[in-house]
Structure 1
Amino acid sequence: MIRIQHLSLMRGTKPLFEDADLTLNPGERIGLIGANGAGKSTLFALLRSELHADGGDVDFPSAWRVAHVAQETPALERSALDYAIDGDATLRRLQVELEEAEAHPDHAAQGHRIGELHAALADADAYTVRSRAETLLTGLGFSQQQMNRPVSSFSGGWRMRLNLAQALMCPSDLLLLDEPTNHLDLDAILWLEDWLKRYPGTLVVISHDRDFLDGVVNVIVHIDDRKLKRYSGNYSSFERQRAAQMVLTQAMIEKQTRERAHLQSFIDRFKAKATKARQAQSRMKALARMEETAPLRAAAEFSFEFREPASAPNPLLVLEAVNAGYRVEDEATGASTERTIVKHINFSLQTGQRIGLLGVNGAGKSTLIKTIATELDPLSGVARFGKGLVIGYFAQHQVEMLRHDESPLWHLAKLAPDVREQDLRNFLGSFNFPGEMATSSIAPFSGGEKARLALALIVWQRPNLLLLDEPTNHLDLETREALTDALAQFDGTLVLVSHDRHLLRATTDTFLIVADGKLMPFDGDLDDYRDWLFKTRLSPAKETQAAATANAAPSAPQVDRREQKRIEAEERQRLSTLKKPIESRIKKLEERMGKLQARKAEIDAKLAEPAIYESANKDELKTLIAEQGACGRELEEVEMAWLEQQEALEQIA
């Protein structure tokens, strides 16, 4: 059990926690949320004993093994596979001790010790460690070839995946994950979600991906107003509970405001009259004692909208027999060679289409987007673009392409040199870059603020075609919601690559998939895509099957595609049959929870009225108090039943 009591902590002059309390039970999967700067990463540092509280206690069993993702990756010549295995420090220590014992000059005298070490290595699953590490790395998007490459050869995002693999390899009782999906594609996120559902220890995860939180956690801890507030259920459940709390609190504030006004009115009228002086004094004391109900603070809402496109050519673009890829120049000879990623693309974009682009990591999604955005020329074929086409392109590394030594105003003025500065400032203000922030260097800005600026620059250009390649990297939940709403109302055409399933569901209506070097329609939704991934890319036998295929004779018969589709359809039907009754029970429980929460809010509101405590209402008061207790007990029972059904649903693979 993790128990936090009376926690207080300052960072500089800013108080992050004041008298905060929290209890977390073993085996719970907790989503830690809160505004940027609220203290999420600081709480992780406390749990890792890297920081110490100014006051209060943070306790959990001293025997617990804690795993977390390192933020730095040394540029080692060690292979990716060995680096992942290094996450199991106990196993590595035992291996070193065994090597030393076996190398000892008096080998016979070490016999007993060598036997003990072999037994300890067996207990640590040393003889399956390579296959377990390969499974982890495969799920995180590494090919067999990449696993044998040195760590130093990988870019920053891939090194973070290696650090995540190390954390998952580490046997642990408490696993701390800070934004684990930031450097992952959708296929790797789906695999990680599946892995975490089966993790037996206590998990605490910080994430801005609501679908990921909904799929993984069963408790939400919200850092709000320097306190730690616990909510049962996943993120969607938290949103419903918090909304109900805000409605109830607002009603209580309004009633308290009326009561305070009534007391103040009495004081103002009678404090100067001798006959009423004592009563006035009594009411002044009552007013002073009355603890003001603090409003539940929702995060300041941020919203924006894409401006209506100035024109709408139709079609916007046509690609005929296009091969998309790269031209690579040999430094020694100067000769240029072509590397084709996606072949024979026949594709047209019509005004108003909203396309989600799917495909595993490395399949060629970004290459296709860059070709459409004219960042890459087609290697062959014809690309025709409609007259008046205005492309708004957000690349995966858009934030890094900004000038970090310049200000938001400078970036916008580069796009609109003839526009008045005040108009530019007004526009930036609508994206939360007010006053001095608009003229300050963006170097100290957070990743989310820089991403917001990149979006603002796209919005200014009034595109009729949006090409967005992982636009939610670095964005917090609030800004993701603002982007989702803006894209849902966008009048132009959209092509979106994203690992955020909520964004894909809410803003696209057609899916295309890049697979096996081709662009094809995907007939299904994101649940179908998940099933396809686990059957074709993420199954445990994937690597074995791939090797067998590679070694087979060229004439070896291939699996009939129609038979494969029939098997997949049957499997989907089987899962649907198993899930349907559970989903039906969950729906009924959620409806019952909603009714109970609404009734409890009504009772609480009535009990907050002063008139109910008058003697004439004695019977009604008794009834309300009894009903409040019964309602609370039933609500707790329904919530527990809901959690049990959710767990049952998760068990269905």
Structure 2
Amino acid sequence: MSNLLEHVLELYPKLDHDIADYLGGVLEDVDCFDSADDVADGIGPFLIDCAQAIQDDVDTLAEKLWGLMDKKSDEPIKLVNAVVFGDSAVDTSEFDSLLVTDIELRGNYNAKESAKADKKARAKLAKRQAEEEAEKNKEKEALVKEQAVASQAKSKPGISMSGDILIENFDLTFGAQQLIQNAELNLAQGKRYGLVGRNGAGKSTLLRALDSRGLSLPSNITVLHVEQEVVGDDTTALDSVLGVLTERTNLLKEADDLGASGADNDRLLVVHERLEEIDADSKPSEAAEILNGLGFTTKMQQMTTKEFSGGWRMRLALAQALLMEPDLLLLDEPTNMLDMRAVLWLESRLQNWPNTLLTVSHDRSYLNSVCTDIIHLSSRTLYYYKGDYDTFEKTRGERHKQQLRDYEAQKSYRDHIQVFIDRFRYNANRAAQVQSKIKILEKLPVLYPPEPPEVVKFGFNAPAEERINGTLLQMDNVEFAYSSSRQIFKGIDLSCDSKSRIAIVGENGAGKSTLLKLLLGKLEPTKGYVTHNRNCRIAYFAQHHIEDFDLSLTPIETLRDFKPGKTAEEYRRILGGFGCTGDVATRKMNVLSGGQKSRVAFAKLGFAQPHLLVLDEPTNHLDVETVAALAEALKQFKGGVILVSHDERLISVACNEVWNCQDGTVKRIEGGLEAYRSALMADFNKGGISKHKE
């Protein structure tokens, strides 16, 4: 530390470390100063902005420092081919800089000609930047579907003796979009991390980069990402899960072959010893228990995988992962495919997970139940918080304030360097100092402001003059069967008015989606009546709404096709009311995240100005903040709501009635969600949660 800087820190001991280092470098360049006023100009703005100094104190300090400086000769410095930069880019071939020679320094300096040359250079640079920006926009418009690209400073895989994972200084891009920059991923063995962040921030892309090892992981760490559903073939569900244990499968086959041949008894003994070591005999019962917990009855476990729908095959993939127990398990929205009973079972299973877990989820209850730590993907970097999601939410406000202070300090630091460059760019005596400052700026990473906690607000309300009093929809003694041997419902009586907030719960396969189709008139009851108020507009959110979109359109074009006649700005405003802001409204649907597509779907619902909202699993693909916004919007909606969901938070905020779809009928639960959850937990505590009915 220089003696001059010590005098500064005596007065301002709490000065930011980076700012202090910079000021120390400034004060060492004593030839930059011709007077105490120059010293005040050089350090004053930093002290005033970052240390709350007052100008009089700065002037006094500057006088003192000026007196202590070791001034050199006033003779002009002779430079040969020194470059004074008019811009941060160094490219003498494009005349973006002004060449100052020894002859020019000793002769008359033509300021007018220099300014003219600088103006010309600026114009050329501006033109080139405009062309580059236009090219980027063109590439962005042409983007259809590009792969994520991950890069890191140290990419050679090593060995992790502890099981911990540390990936330093890595970037992650998707197409032309920078998702993560110069971040660090630090996962301690045995911890369960919840990865949260805004829709489209890059959470799922990060999981894929880890799974593909585009980001370099220790070579001894096994990774499993539950993303692709199990392939449908003639393998039974139970065998497909056991098949993930490749060592067990190979050893059993070898044992059978050796037993049949009657040869190599020594090898057969080794094989049996290894089978005993890996506890091979217990694996079928463990696999069956996992499948039961995820909703597969004993009969379903013997069905072939090709007999299951995509959602059930995803459950099989999850079952494989839980049986395999990889060193790093990556789960992306695992509760999307589960009912509330299975979610409770999964939470219990993961609470005792022996290895490292990194999970993405919109389900606040799941994150609170499972996670020991939260990783927040924000402003293209990763921030770490101890505890569950509730703890994260309480503390991130203070973290954001600190991030904002750090950002402002760094911005001030850079701005003042730029002020110095701009002030002395034509001063030949300070050419070396200007060049030094430019190099400092060039080495600094791109500075992004911290993202404030997102506030998403939805609004579904119809105009007040069109609100309907009385019954909107009613079911009287409804029965439904797909065939004479497949009875789904009998004796259903259900009604809904503009004040109804009904949550329909029940196990997968109980008929919840079928019930909604009956309510909407998409299916006709085999007995009984479903009646609607003839003035009632119903807006329906389908569970697989993404499949209905034309992915070649933008969100604005999607709304225009749905309800033409408005300007692009009006469509943009409607989308903005559901969190589709900025360039999201003009990007093709096929490059939007699942959560962003869902927001477009909600915008369509709001655009319809409905009297009744019917929503089938609307939280899939959303982030936690958007689920909260949806819950509040449903609570404030001046119409009726019928909702199928397993999300406890959404139901508790938005609904005042809970109807259980079970045993071929639908019945109102006295006590609502808490009573239903308590019944499931009581069943779970007795072990019944993993013993579904046949």
TM-score calculated relative to the size of structure 2: 0.66
8 Å CA contact 1:35–1:299 kept in 2: the answer is no
Measured after TM superposition, the shift of residue 82 of structure 1 is: 0.6
**Counterpart amino acid of 2:355?**
G
* CA separation of 1:455 and 1:515: change in aligned 2, threshold 3 A: same
* CA separation of 1:72 and 1:513: change in aligned 2, threshold 3 A: closer
Partners in 2 of 1:37 and 1:472 — Cα distance? 15
Measured after TM superposition, the shift of residue 387 of structure 1 is: 4.0
**Which structure: larger Rg?**
2
The aligned counterpart of 2:203 is: 40
Instruction: Note the alpha carbon deviations across 1:364-392, whole angstroms, 9 max, x for none.
Output: 22222221222222221122323422211
The aligned counterpart of 1:616 is: none
Measured after TM superposition, the shift of residue 168 of structure 1 is: 0.9
CA RMSD of aligned residues (A): 3.9
* CA separation of 1:174 and 1:469: change in aligned 2, threshold 3 A: same
**1:347 matches 2:501:** no
* CA separation of 1:248 and 1:11: change in aligned 2, threshold 3 A: closer
8 Å CA contact 1:7–1:58 kept in 2: the answer is no
Residue of structure 2 aligned with 1:171, choices 325, 337, 344: 325
**1:111 matches 2:281:** no
**1:455 matches 2:609:** no
Instruction: Note the alpha carbon deviations across 1:493-526, whole angstroms, 9 max, x for none.
Output: 1111112221111111221111212211212354
**Counterpart amino acid of 1:69?**
V
Partners in 2 of 1:408 and 1:525 — Cα distance? 37
The aligned counterpart of 1:95 is: 252
The aligned counterpart of 2:651 is: 504
8 Å CA contact 1:191–1:538 kept in 2: the answer is no
Partners in 1 of 2:170 and 2:577 — Cα distance? 37
The aligned counterpart of 2:524 is: 377
User: What is the DSSP-based 3-state SS (H/G/I as helix, E as strand, rest coil) of the residue aligned with 1:92?
Assistant: helix
* More displaced 10-residue stretch of structure 1: 463-472 or 429-438: 429-438
> Identity over aligned residues, as a percent?
38
The aligned counterpart of 1:82 is: 239
> Which residues in structure 2 correspond to 1:55-66 (within 5 Å)?
58-59=217-218, 62=220, 64-66=221-223
Measured after TM superposition, the shift of residue 359 of structure 1 is: 0.9
**Counterpart amino acid of 2:287?**
A
User: What is the DSSP-based 3-state SS (H/G/I as helix, E as strand, rest coil) of the residue aligned with 2:335?
Assistant: coil
Instruction: Note the alpha carbon deviations across 1:212-234, whole angstroms, 9 max, x for none.
Output: 11110011122333333211011
Partners in 1 of 2:420 and 2:202 — Cα distance? 45
* More displaced 10-residue stretch of structure 1: 503-512 or 39-48: 39-48
**1:221 matches 2:378:** no
> Which residues in structure 2 correspond to 1:612-631 (within 5 Å)?
none
The aligned counterpart of 2:287 is: 133
Partners in 1 of 2:416 and 2:210 — Cα distance? 48
**1:30 matches 2:187:** no
Measured after TM superposition, the shift of residue 170 of structure 1 is: 0.5
Partners in 2 of 1:213 and 1:456 — Cα distance? 27
Partners in 1 of 2:637 and 2:450 — Cα distance? 32
TM-score calculated relative to the size of structure 1: 0.70
**Counterpart amino acid of 2:478?**
V
Partners in 2 of 1:250 and 1:441 — Cα distance? 33
Instruction: Note the alpha carbon deviations across 1:293-324, whole angstroms, 9 max, x for none.
Output: 9743236544321123522131222222111x
**Counterpart amino acid of 2:186?**
T
User: What is the DSSP-based 3-state SS (H/G/I as helix, E as strand, rest coil) of the residue aligned with 2:334?
Assistant: coil
Measured after TM superposition, the shift of residue 352 of structure 1 is: 0.8
Residue of structure 2 aligned with 1:183, choices 337, 343, 346: 337
Residue of structure 1 aligned with 2:543, choices 383, 396, 408: 396
Partners in 2 of 1:78 and 1:261 — Cα distance? 65
> Which residues in structure 2 correspond to 1:251-270 (within 5 Å)?
none
Measured after TM superposition, the shift of residue 14 of structure 1 is: 4.7
* CA separation of 1:516 and 1:208: change in aligned 2, threshold 3 A: same
> Which residues in structure 2 correspond to 1:603-642 (within 5 Å)?
none
Partners in 1 of 2:470 and 2:686 — Cα distance? 42
User: What is the DSSP-based 3-state SS (H/G/I as helix, E as strand, rest coil) of the residue aligned with 1:368?
Assistant: helix
Measured after TM superposition, the shift of residue 164 of structure 1 is: 0.8
> Which residues in structure 2 correspond to 1:207-356 (within 5 Å)?
207-250=361-404, 295-298=449-452, 301-309=455-463, 310-323=466-479, 325-328=480-483, 337=484, 339-356=486-503
Measured after TM superposition, the shift of residue 394 of structure 1 is: 1.2
8 Å CA contact 1:179–1:207 kept in 2: the answer is yes
The aligned counterpart of 1:160 is: 314
The aligned counterpart of 1:206 is: 360
* More displaced 10-residue stretch of structure 1: 528-537 or 357-366: 528-537
* CA separation of 1:15 and 1:440: change in aligned 2, threshold 3 A: closer
**Counterpart amino acid of 1:381?**
G
**Counterpart amino acid of 2:279?**
D
Partners in 2 of 1:545 and 1:146 — Cα distance? 11
* CA separation of 1:167 and 1:305: change in aligned 2, threshold 3 A: same
Measured after TM superposition, the shift of residue 78 of structure 1 is: 0.6
Partners in 2 of 1:83 and 1:162 — Cα distance? 8
**Counterpart amino acid of 2:475?**
L
Partners in 2 of 1:543 and 1:228 — Cα distance? 37
8 Å CA contact 1:313–1:387 kept in 2: the answer is no
Measured after TM superposition, the shift of residue 471 of structure 1 is: 0.8
* More displaced 10-residue stretch of structure 1: 456-465 or 419-428: 419-428
* More displaced 10-residue stretch of structure 1: 343-352 or 400-409: 400-409
8 Å CA contact 2:660–2:669 kept in 1: the answer is yes
User: What is the DSSP-based 3-state SS (H/G/I as helix, E as strand, rest coil) of the residue aligned with 1:297?
Assistant: coil
* CA separation of 1:70 and 1:118: change in aligned 2, threshold 3 A: farther
Measured after TM superposition, the shift of residue 408 of structure 1 is: 3.9
User: What is the DSSP-based 3-state SS (H/G/I as helix, E as strand, rest coil) of the residue aligned with 1:316?
Assistant: strand
The aligned counterpart of 1:51 is: 213
User: What is the DSSP-based 3-state SS (H/G/I as helix, E as strand, rest coil) of the residue aligned with 1:182?
Assistant: helix
* CA separation of 1:113 and 1:538: change in aligned 2, threshold 3 A: farther
Extract unaligned runs of 5+ from structure 2: 1-163, 424-429
Partners in 2 of 1:377 and 1:268 — Cα distance? 76
* CA separation of 1:209 and 1:350: change in aligned 2, threshold 3 A: same
> Which residues in structure 2 correspond to 1:4-19 (within 5 Å)?
4-9=167-172, 14-19=177-182
8 Å CA contact 1:34–1:40 kept in 2: the answer is yes
User: What is the DSSP-based 3-state SS (H/G/I as helix, E as strand, rest coil) of the residue aligned with 1:175?
Assistant: strand
**Counterpart amino acid of 2:248?**
L
* CA separation of 1:293 and 1:475: change in aligned 2, threshold 3 A: closer
User: What is the DSSP-based 3-state SS (H/G/I as helix, E as strand, rest coil) of the residue aligned with 2:543?
Assistant: coil
Partners in 1 of 2:682 and 2:304 — Cα distance? 29
8 Å CA contact 2:680–2:689 kept in 1: the answer is no
The aligned counterpart of 2:66 is: none
**Counterpart amino acid of 1:314?**
G
**Counterpart amino acid of 2:366?**
F
**1:3 matches 2:166:** yes
Extract unaligned runs of 5+ from structure 1: 270-277, 329-336, 548-653
Partners in 2 of 1:58 and 1:259 — Cα distance? 36
* More displaced 10-residue stretch of structure 1: 439-448 or 461-470: 439-448
8 Å CA contact 1:22–1:230 kept in 2: the answer is no
Measured after TM superposition, the shift of residue 450 of structure 1 is: 2.5
Partners in 2 of 1:21 and 1:542 — Cα distance? 40
Partners in 2 of 1:401 and 1:148 — Cα distance? 33
* More displaced 10-residue stretch of structure 1: 530-539 or 151-160: 530-539
The aligned counterpart of 2:183 is: 20
8 Å CA contact 1:139–1:538 kept in 2: the answer is no
Partners in 2 of 1:264 and 1:441 — Cα distance? 39
* CA separation of 1:459 and 1:326: change in aligned 2, threshold 3 A: farther
Measured after TM superposition, the shift of residue 468 of structure 1 is: 0.8
> Which residues in structure 2 correspond to 1:394-543 (within 5 Å)?
394-417=541-564, 423-431=570-578, 442-536=589-683, 540=687
Partners in 1 of 2:201 and 2:488 — Cα distance? 43
